[in-house]
C-alpha cells in the first residue's frame, strides 16, 4: 500500500500527468494479489504444521499403547519419547543423527588410542 502511494506521488512530483493510473492498478490489482499470496503461503504453512503435529501425535500414541501393554519398560518409554521429541522436524532429526555420529566417531578415536 505504501509502495503504491510512493510511486503515485513520486510520479506526480516528477510531473507525469498519468500518475493517477498507479492508484487504481495498485489498489485493484497489486494489493489484492499480494494479500492472496500471503493467505496462500499461510494456509500451506499451517497445513504442513498440522501434518507434522499429527504424525508426532500418532507416534506418541503408539508409544503410549506399547508402554500400557507392557511391551516397553518405563526407561525405554522415556528414552523413545525423548528421541521422538528431539526429531519432530526434519532439521531436528538431521541434527540428532549428526550429533550421534559425531559422538560415535569420538568414541572410536578414543578406543583406538587405548
pLDDT in tens, 66-79: 888 988 888 888 88
pLDDT computed for residue 1 by the predictor: 65
Q: Which pTM was predicted? A: 0.35
What does the pLDDT look like over 6-20, one tens digit per residue?
777 777 778 877 666
- Name residues of the chain where pLDDT drops below 70: 1, 18-20, 22-23, 26-27, 47-56, 87-90, 93, 114
pLDDT value, residue 95: 76
* SS3 category, 106: helix
Tell me the C-alpha distance between 21 and 8, whole Å: 8
How far is it, in rounded angstroms, from Cα 82 to Cα 40? 34
Amino acid at each position: 500500500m505504501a509502495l503504491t502511494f510512493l510511486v503515485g506521488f513520486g510520479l506526480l512530483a516528477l510531473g507525469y500527468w498519468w500518475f493517477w493510473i498507479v492508484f487504481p492498478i495498485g489498489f485493484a490489482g497489486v494489493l489484492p494479489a499480494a494479500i492472496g499470496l500471503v493467505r496462500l503461503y499461510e494456509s500451506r504453512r499451517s497445513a504442513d504444521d498440522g501434518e507434522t503435529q499429527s504424525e508426532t501425535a500418532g507416534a506418541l500414541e503408539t508409544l503410549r499403547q506399547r508402554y500400557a501393554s507392557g511391551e516397553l519398560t518405563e526407561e525405554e518409554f522415556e528414552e523413545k519419547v525423548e528421541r521422538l521429541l528431539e526429531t519432530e522436524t526434519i532439521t531436528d532429526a538431521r541434527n540428532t543423527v549428526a550429533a550421534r555420529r559425531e559422538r560415535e566417531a569420538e568414541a572410536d578415536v578414543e578406543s583406538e588410542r587405548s
